[in-house]
Amino acid sequence: MKFNKLSQLFLVSFLGLFLATLLTACDIVTVDFVYVASSAGSGTASNGVIDIYAVDSGSGAMRTDVASVSTGGVAPVSLAVTSDYANLYVANAGSKTIVHFTIGLDGGLTQKDSVTLSATPVAIAVNTADTYLYVVSGTSSATLTEYSLSSGTIGTAATASAPLNVGSDTIIPTGVTVLANNAAVYVTAYDQSAYNPGGSTTSTANPGWVFGYAVGSGGALTAATNSPYQAGVKPSALVADPTNRFVYVTDYASSQMIGYSILDGSTLSFLTNGPFKTGNEPSAIVIDPRGKFLYLSNELDNTVGAYSIDLPTGTPTTTVNVTGSPLDSTDTQPVAIVVDPALGRFVYTVNHLGNSVSGFVLDPTSGALKATQASPYPITGTMPTAIVAIPHGNHAIQAVD
pLDDT of residue 13: 42
Confidence of residue 108 (pLDDT cuts 50, 70, 90): very high
Supply the pLDDT for residue 395.
53
How is 173-206 classified by DSSP, letter by letter? EEEEEE-TTSSEEEEEEEETTT--TTS-----S-
Query: What percentage of the chain reaches a pLDDT higher than 90?
Result: 84
Query: At 12, is the secondary structure helix, strand, or coil?
Result: helix
Task: List residues bridging with 173 in a β-sheet.
Answer: 189
User: CA–CA separation, 383 vs 350, rounded Å?
Assistant: 9
Identify any residues that bridge with 213 across adjacent strands, giving them in sequence order. Answer: 185, 223
Domain ranges of the chain: 36-391
DSSP single-letter state for residue 103: E
In this predicted structure, the answer to whether residue 3 has a pLDDT above a threshold of 60 is: no
d(CA 19, CA 30): 22
Looking at domain 36-391, its CATH superfamily turns out to be YVTN repeat-like/Quinoprotein amine dehydrogenase (2.130.10.10)
Q: Does 28 have pLDDT greater than 50?
A: yes
List the one residue out of 144, 153, 149, 220 whose CA is nearest residue 176: 144
Q: What is the pLDDT of residue 326?
A: 77
Q: Is residue 25 pLDDT above 50, yes or no? A: no
Residue 341 pLDDT class (50, 70, 90 cuts): very high
The Cα–Cα gap between 180 and 243 comes to 7
Tell how many helices (H) and how many strands (E) occur in the chain: 1, 33
**256 membership: H or E segment, kind and range:** strand 256-263
Q: For residue 400, what pLDDT band results from cuts at 50, 70 and 90? A: very low
SS3 content of the chain, % helix, strand, coil (to 5): 5, 50, 45
Average pLDDT for the chain: 91
Structure confidence by residue, pLDDT tens digits, 133-152: 999 999 988 999 999 999 99
Taking the alpha carbons at both ends of the chain, their separation in whole angstroms is 61
Angle formed at CA 64 by CA 83 and CA 361, multiple of 5 degrees: 65
Rounded to whole angstroms, what are the CA distances from 284 to 8, 251, 359? Answer: 61, 10, 15
Neighbouring CB atoms inside 10 A of 183's CB total: 16
* pLDDT tens track for 299-332: 999 999 999 999 999 999 998 776 677 789 999 9
DSSP per residue, 48-63: EEEEEEEEETTT--EE
